Structure 1
């Protein structure tokens, strides 16, 4: 389920607005976090409206708590609907995670066990979001640091089942794949070999930081504060070779670079798409 009108994009940050308007990059889309635009007006909306006039948008939610056991917050869902109606983005996405419980919001994207009970809850929540928005959403694979002993399904099987039951698409975050696989001592390539690529509507690329855990083993953090790492670029090239062109976003949310640096990352993704596309055509 690719969107042929989108190629590569980048996270939109207000610090880059003047540079983007001066540069006027062609064939780029921009992604924003929905929660930053749930107010009625002000500078944030003026900046985003200026970007929307020239570029397609992707709206990415981070607080819906689709994986939570409790009902979705109807006020938050209504505000998301208003953002989507206002800007008519090409893509809308959320995370396979939970972030609230018993009225408390934890400001994090927390993992969930992959069980049939959890699957039923997630599917009901995805259905509710899509019914409210009257459009298909994309569900993103999370970055994880632990695995649940209670899980009875693999993550890829869980995501495949959600997509099949609800009709949603999937947002394949390749940095999350690499971070999660490394933290769990698994193979990112093997994980991707089992991933249902036919449901992918967008790809995320981002940077991560590396720490050491108590056993002095590598611990990767999905930090979004630096350039995409070489192993993630290799996963991206392999994925595009299998899947073909897919809207691809460079996520960079903190320790922001200058606009030329961020734009160079997006252009690198475009070169991967162009190279793999030429190879596919030749084959």
Structure 2
């Protein structure tokens, strides 16, 4: 069940950026016009030091979103209680406006895999993920947003559609959803399905945040297009067009620009946020436009 004491979904309906150490000084000196900043929770699980000093300063100026990459919600093993305690301490320390995690797994037995791996969509995995989301929300005392994955393989044993799988988790646990539009494009191209149709079926009433990112492109063994969720380049045109279509369904929603590899200068990141902000503002204006009288 959803904890009642939460401040999630309170990010402003604007574009945000991932806060990178190489940009700490620039952000604090220039205080750029950014809707919010997001950090990977695992990068701030130490007790102190310069990262916390800078994050505390930035969090005093901007709304903050925490994005987890190591909870391994889809793993076929219990959640790591020590990791949950560290996560709870971080949430209590910074009181972020949003916390999100991935529909993925990254742990096996006693090992941690440095990747976000997909899972089969079966009744068994659905029940396990529901239990893990419930446990995580109770541990941190907050509602979390669960992100749709980017995938490169499909499981033969999957018997539940991905959207239905996500919707069932949200319905049973009260969690929200993080809609990663770049992931939709990556998975849709890789599996030869219609990305627009995916968005048209998505339960947008549950979406608390959107992610955008750049992908890399190669070819598979058959010579077909293969997209990689790389987070190392500007958002591609097809992703931005699908984002425009998504906003027409969701309305203005907080939107993060993810750029985690080959991180550029801050002004390049800010330009990406400005592109998204313009689409958010256009959708807000469209919704506020008076109806035309015949």
Using structure 1 for the length normalisation, give the TM-score.
0.97
- 1:203 match: 210
* 2:267 paired with 1:281: no
- 2:110 match: 103
- 2:225 match: 218
* Conservation of the 8 A alpha-carbon contact between 2:231 and 2:261: yes
* 2:43 paired with 1:49: no
- State the Cα distance separating 1:18 from its structure 2 match: 1.6
Which whole-Å CA distance do the structure 2 matches of 1:184 and 1:26 have between them?
Answer: 38
- Number of aligned positions between the proteins: 283
- 2:67 match: 60
Q: Which runs of 5+ in 1 are unaligned?
A: none
* Conservation of the 8 A alpha-carbon contact between 1:7 and 1:246: yes
* Conservation of the 8 A alpha-carbon contact between 2:73 and 2:133: yes
1:259 to 259, 266, 269: 266
Q: Which runs of 5+ in 2 are unaligned?
A: 1-7
Q: Deviations over 1:183-208 (max 9, x none)?
A: 01111111111111110000000011
2:95 to 84, 88, 97: 88
- 1:237 match: 244
* Conservation of the 8 A alpha-carbon contact between 1:207 and 1:226: yes
* Conservation of the 8 A alpha-carbon contact between 1:57 and 1:89: yes
- 2:3 match: none
Q: Deviations over 1:88-107 (max 9, x none)?
A: 10000000000011111111
- 1:148 match: 155
* Conservation of the 8 A alpha-carbon contact between 2:13 and 2:280: no
1:23 to 26, 30, 55: 30
Using structure 2 for the length normalisation, give the TM-score.
0.94
- State the Cα distance separating 1:211 from its structure 2 match: 1.1
- 2:45 match: 38
Partner-residue secondary structure (3-state), 1:146: coil
- State the Cα distance separating 1:2 from its structure 2 match: 4.9
- State the Cα distance separating 1:242 from its structure 2 match: 1.5
Which whole-Å CA distance do the structure 1 matches of 2:172 and 2:38 have between them?
Answer: 27
- State the Cα distance separating 1:6 from its structure 2 match: 4.7
Which whole-Å CA distance do the structure 2 matches of 1:225 and 1:74 have between them?
Answer: 32
Q: Deviations over 1:220-240 (max 9, x none)?
A: 110100000011101111111
Instruction: Tell me: CA distance 1:2–1:35, structure 2 relative to 1, closer, same or farther (3 Å).
Output: closer
- State the Cα distance separating 1:41 from its structure 2 match: 0.6
* Conservation of the 8 A alpha-carbon contact between 1:3 and 1:246: no
Which whole-Å CA distance do the structure 2 matches of 1:29 and 1:85 have between them?
Answer: 19
Which whole-Å CA distance do the structure 1 matches of 2:280 and 2:124 have between them?
Answer: 39
